[in-house]
Structure 1
Amino acid sequence: MRIVSWNINGIRATKTGLKGILESLQADVICLQETKVTRDLLDEPTAIVEGYNSYFSFSRGRSGYSGVATFCRDSVTPLAAEEGLSGLLSSHSGAIGHYGNTDEFSEEELQALDNEGRAVLTQHKILLSEGREETLTVINVYCPRADPDKPERKSFKLRFYHLLQARAEAILNAGGHVIVLGDINTSHRPIDHCDPDGLESFEENPSRKWLSQFLVDPGRTCATLAPPEERESPESSGAAEGRFLDSFRYFYPARPDAFTCWSSATGARHTNYGTRIDYILGDAALVRGHFQDSDLMPEVEGSDHCPVRACLGCVVLPAPRCPPFCTRYLPEFAGRQQKLLQFLVKVDKGRNCADKEAVKVLLESKEKRENQVSSGSRQGLTSSQKRSEAAVQKGAKRTKLGPGNGQGSLLRFLRPVEAKTTNPQPTTKTTLEKPAPCLETPPVAFWKSVLKGPSPPPLCKGHGEPCVLRTVKKAGTNHGKQFYTCARPEGHASNLQARCNFFQWATKKAGHSS
């Protein structure tokens, strides 16, 4: 069984067809995050892909925001599926259940945590190598980002983490196995960050502290599989032993420069200046006993993230029918909803001869009237019609700009204006017929003087190369201002091929260049 997770950064922004992308990933279960599609924007080619059954969760508050989707090959059809972590969005049959203890959450908070379309769960029946059948639940999540400018989002992120843990451990306690995968939006250890700041306090970050207690320390020889009530709380000093393993670090505990996300705005992927925030986390018994490999796929482009994959030594037993949550059962794709095309009548161009005959009569009548006017036959026209015709003919004469194609030269409007005299002399006929003076400046030189291009950008001090112009997008006093910076991609300070620290405001101000 092969599983792939990828933050695709917009499922509709792909340059190739979705089916081609899914096939290229060569997996049985493909979990996508940040699809940026809401239900009203989901089209049939995205929802219904031949050979796959899909499960979408949409943001209910913002368009083009968040969203996750899981695509399963028809040969690994899940036996149950649902969206959300709280159970509030799963009113249909075929849900997975087991929601854990959520007493610490209010119903309003649970609704808010699920309304952003951040979780899809599929449950599969698997046959292990020893011949035992068990269930495997795949929790596909797009965890929130902690926006430093919005303190409430930091709290939202931590609450999402705690709800995710409650759900994952509840399913695990009910039997079977669990995989939590997706964009977790936290780099766990300093080795997972290209340039960690403050190493002495790096692991004190609340998100990292949560991840540390959720995971088993890969250096430990065995996993503590005690239920959560017998372990230390998440708010403890960090000594609590988790129940899940970071599958990549299980196989590659010391691999450096292993990142999954880079800033596309700074071109950081070219210098591998990134972070590892995309994970496949399996329960310890599953990873140790049945995972064959888990790795990153940095060669796959098309997003600011790269996919991550895992290979399991088990066989999936497909369900005979997709669970009710499957996208193909939505009314707009199941043939139960009337579409706009049903109300559009196809017009046969070869029919309605009566209409063609009427058009022919009208054209002949129009041609007859025009011939009468051109031949001087003005009888029957009223005085008002004659005046209108004369006005049209007079206006037509005024619009003639000269011989040839009737188009005047643009230079006629750019002639020098003659200075007015205090005692103008009567204009003679000879003066009127005198041609206007020509421009003294040749046309090319003239346009160069009028249409001056922008000033060349400054050269960065680190490489002596032309800088790139950027705009401040962060809210604050400098929002919207433009500045010049080194055009090379962002990278570590020790990387001579990366961007230097040159900075200069587009409108140069004292103290703002370096």
Structure 2
Amino acid sequence: MKIASWNVNSLKARLPNVLAWLEAAQPDVVCLQEIKCQTADFPRLEIESAGYEAHVLGQKSYNGVALLSRQPIEDVLYGLPGDPADEQARYVEGTVAGVRIASLYLPNGNPVGTEKYPYKLAWMDRLYHHARGLLATEQPFVLAGDYNICPTDDDVYDPVGWREDALCRPESRAKFRSLLNLGLTEAYRLFHDEPHRYSFWDYQAGRWYRDEGLRIDHFLLSPRASDRAQGCEIDKEPRGREKASDHTPVVLDLA
């Protein structure tokens, strides 16, 4: 099973690029983030014509996640449990061929001195408790998406300059480590220990051309999913296209 995660930064704006990549890469499951459209406005006809079933949690102009699969998706969960008052569209989860797969868009958290940062940390607490519940089922699962976390200084082009950013602050990284301490495995680091490999490059200041990026798109795997992992790669090709998203796909291979 080939599972891809991609923050597309507006599906409407990137649809030709997304469809071209789906045709070329042929992933079995795709976790999309920041689709930036309401559920009813999701381009279902185009995605289904490409061979994918789609389950979508959308929101006007912001956020939005989708789970696509060539195989049936069962027992779909819309929204991260733990806060019924949370109206932001950031989480969708379903079962594909016996594997529980989630597409998540973790809050950015900036500016740190506003309510956005406590919201980010509280969201991560909810994810922690949900992951703990998933572990108790002993079903293999994959939590894929834009975590808006650089786990270490190796994952950011300028560690000093980004030290106080919500993506790199110690509190954010500690919450991420708490997920790993549950027994989850960060898939990319299972196969790659080299520093400064990125999945996001800002549009400003020529970051892409200077390879000044961040690695914030991750797969966290349960032990049973980790045992099946055969590779995890960052596909940089789509980031170099015209009208590209500022993120590029990350791809996980499971036996």
The amino acid that maps onto 1:7 is N
Q: Report deviation, 1:158.
A: 0.8
Match of 2:91 among 98, 119, 126: 119
Corresponding residue for residue 297 of structure 1: 235
For 1:243-392, list aligned pairs within 5 A. Answer: 243-253=183-193, 255-287=194-226, 289-301=227-239, 302-313=244-255
Q: Report deviation, 1:242.
A: 2.7
Distance 1:171 1:50, change over 3 A: same
Q: Report deviation, 1:139.
A: 1.2
The amino acid that maps onto 1:35 is I
Asked whether the equivalents of residues 53 and 73 of structure 2 are also in contact (C-alpha less than 8 Å), the reply is: no
Q: Report deviation, 1:205.
A: 1.7
The structure with more radius of gyration? 1
Matched, 1:3 2:7: no
Task: Output the TM-score relative to the length of structure 2.
Answer: 0.90
Corresponding residue for residue 458 of structure 1: none
After the TM superposition, which of the residue ranges 164-173 and 152-161 deviates more from structure 2? 164-173
Distance in 2, matches of 1:182 and 1:194, equals: 20
Deviations 1:150-171 (A, max 9, x none): 5101011111111112112212
Distance 1:280 1:116, change over 3 A: same
Q: Report deviation, 1:140.
A: 0.7
Distance in 1, matches of 2:52 and 2:3, equals: 14
Corresponding residue for residue 114 of structure 2: 151
Corresponding residue for residue 62 of structure 2: 65
Distance in 2, matches of 1:19 and 1:214, equals: 33
Q: Report deviation, 1:52.
A: 1.3
Asked whether the equivalents of residues 44 and 54 of structure 2 are also in contact (C-alpha less than 8 Å), the reply is: no
Distance in 1, matches of 2:75 and 2:100, equals: 9
Distance in 2, matches of 1:243 and 1:29, equals: 24
Corresponding residue for residue 188 of structure 1: 151
Asked whether the equivalents of residues 17 and 238 of structure 2 are also in contact (C-alpha less than 8 Å), the reply is: no
For 1:388-407, list aligned pairs within 5 A. Answer: none
Distance in 2, matches of 1:200 and 1:140, equals: 27
Distance 1:209 1:157, change over 3 A: same
Asked whether the equivalents of residues 243 and 284 of structure 1 are also in contact (C-alpha less than 8 Å), the reply is: yes
The amino acid that maps onto 1:85 is L
Asked whether the equivalents of residues 19 and 49 of structure 1 are also in contact (C-alpha less than 8 Å), the reply is: no
Distance in 1, matches of 2:186 and 2:161, equals: 24
Asked whether the equivalents of residues 4 and 25 of structure 1 are also in contact (C-alpha less than 8 Å), the reply is: no
Corresponding residue for residue 161 of structure 1: 124
Corresponding residue for residue 51 of structure 1: 51
Q: Report deviation, 1:43.
A: 4.4
Asked whether the equivalents of residues 18 and 46 of structure 1 are also in contact (C-alpha less than 8 Å), the reply is: no
Q: Report deviation, 1:53.
A: 0.5
Q: Report deviation, 1:25.
A: 2.9
Q: Report deviation, 1:201.
A: 9.0
Q: Report deviation, 1:146.
A: 0.9
Determine helix, strand or coil for the equivalent of 2:16: coil
Distance in 1, matches of 2:207 and 2:45, equals: 33
Distance 1:15 1:123, change over 3 A: closer
Q: Report deviation, 1:268.
A: 0.3
Determine helix, strand or coil for the equivalent of 1:158: helix
Distance in 2, matches of 1:17 and 1:196, equals: 31
Asked whether the equivalents of residues 21 and 238 of structure 2 are also in contact (C-alpha less than 8 Å), the reply is: no
Corresponding residue for residue 82 of structure 1: 77
Q: Report deviation, 1:149.
A: 6.1
The amino acid that maps onto 1:290 is R
Distance 1:194 1:116, change over 3 A: same
Distance 1:7 1:44, change over 3 A: closer
Q: Report deviation, 1:243.
A: 1.4
Corresponding residue for residue 441 of structure 1: none
Distance in 1, matches of 2:105 and 2:164, equals: 26
Task: Output the TM-score relative to the length of structure 1.
Answer: 0.46
The amino acid that maps onto 1:178 is F
Distance in 2, matches of 1:269 and 1:193, equals: 13
Corresponding residue for residue 140 of structure 2: 177
Greater RCO, 1 or 2 (C-alpha within 8 Å, sep 6+): 2
Q: Report deviation, 1:122.
A: 1.2
Corresponding residue for residue 26 of structure 1: 26
Which runs of no fewer than 5 residues in structure 1 stay unpaired?
87-101, 103-109, 126-134, 216-240, 314-514
Structure that is richer in strand per residue: 2
Distance in 1, matches of 2:55 and 2:28, equals: 14
Distance in 1, matches of 2:184 and 2:109, equals: 23
